[in-house]
Amino acid sequence: MIVTVTLNAAVDRTLTVPNFQFGHRHRASHSLTSAGGKGINVARALKRLETPVVATGLAGGRTGDRIVEELALEGILSDLVRISDESRTSFAVVDPTAGSLTEIYEWGPAVRAEELQMLTDKLHYLSRVASYVVFSGSLPRDVENDFYANAIRDLNRRGVHTVLDTEGEPLRLGVEAEPFLVAPNQQEAESLVGQEFNDDEDFVMALDAIADHGARNVLITHETSCFGLFREDRHVRRFHASIERVEPIAHVGAGDVLLGGFLSEHFNGASLGDALRRAVGCAAASVTELGAGRFDPRAAARLAGGVEIVELDPVKA
């Protein structure tokens, strides 16, 4: 199975507010409450693709109770470590008339050393039957920046494929720990390599730079497209997978869905091309629905047929 790890799990509230304006009173036309956090979004995508998955991480207080309840309602198997501090709540306001999205995130809980050790012990247990362990999202308060890096090194020694999707210093340190796959979005990748990307050559340069830092495979997500570097049979291959613009409702969680779609196909032995097509198809289907990680697999399969895969040459020095 695939294990997803979310240290900063949340209850996500998504509100649809037509003609949203700051400083005014509004009535939402639609609302959605669900368990959230990047790893949970990946787990939701895997569940919809009927790929065996268990979501672990940290959950505390009444908000933590709600996270566990929401996962159970969706049929997502979870095994979360309960902590003493309160988990966070996140808000997203979608304005369909303007095509805008406003997000508000609470700070995550403070985490004690013994609670982190409980999570590490749980990962040792779950990794015995895991093909991949996916570390996604930000770190809560009082968790050191090298937590992901240390966990990746530990699981690498146990022969488990690790996947990392985070930002900032935890991303830099995690890449150096040599994960099987690192999957930042464009902004996170730009911060990691220290420059903005303006064309395909910049993305290819970044793929190679991130791989040189330690990642075996690299997937840079950009809403409904991605650039990837993959090592196969001693060969390094680089790809760009894209689809014609899909009219979006909200892009929240599209990168998580893309990662989930790719891992699902890779887990089931698909070729790189098919995995990338499914990944982008899932991401494109997700932006047409409200709520992170939600999409119709039938729409994803249909959209995957329109995904263009281009194999790219390395940038010459």
Residue 133 has pLDDT above 90, yes or no: yes
| pLDDT band (50, 70, 90) for residue 107 | confident
| Residue 57 identity | G
CATH class, 2-312 region:
alpha beta
DSSP assignment of 13-41 equals EEEE-TT--TTS----SEEEEEEESHHHH
Backbone phi, then psi, for 214, in 5-degree steps? 145, -25
Per-residue b or e along 75-93, where b marks 16 or more CB atoms closer than 10 Å to that residue's CB: ebebebbebebbbbbbebb
Q: Where are the domains of the chain?
A: 2-312
C-alpha dihedral over 54, 227, 140, 71, to 10 degrees? Answer: -30
Please say if the pLDDT value at position 232 is more than 70. Answer: yes
Give the mean pLDDT of 197-211.
93
HSE-CB of 135 using CA atoms within 13 angstroms: 31
- pLDDT tens for 47-104 read 999 999 999 999 999 999 999 999 999 999 999 999 999 999 998 888 888 878 888 8
Give the span between the Cα atoms of 192 and 184, in whole angstroms: 9
The pLDDT, as a whole number, for residue 36 is: 93
Q: How confident is residue 317, by pLDDT bands cut at 50, 70 and 90?
A: low
Q: How far apart are CA 184 and CA 302, in angstroms?
A: 26
- At residue 14 the predicted structure's pLDDT band, cuts being 50, 70 and 90, is confident
Contact residues for 235 (Cβ-Cβ < 8 A; gap 6+): none
Q: Which residue reads 């494929």 in tokens?
A: 161
Residues 233-252 pLDDT 10s: 788 999 999 998 888 777 78
Task: Please report which residue ranges of 15-165 form alpha helices under DSSP H.
Answer: 38-48, 61-73, 113-126, 147-157
For residues 303-312, give the mean pLDDT.
Answer: 94
DSSP annotation of 215 reads: -
Predicted confidence (pLDDT) per residue in 149-173, tens digit? 999 999 999 999 999 999 999 999 9
| Amino acid in the structure at residue 227 | F
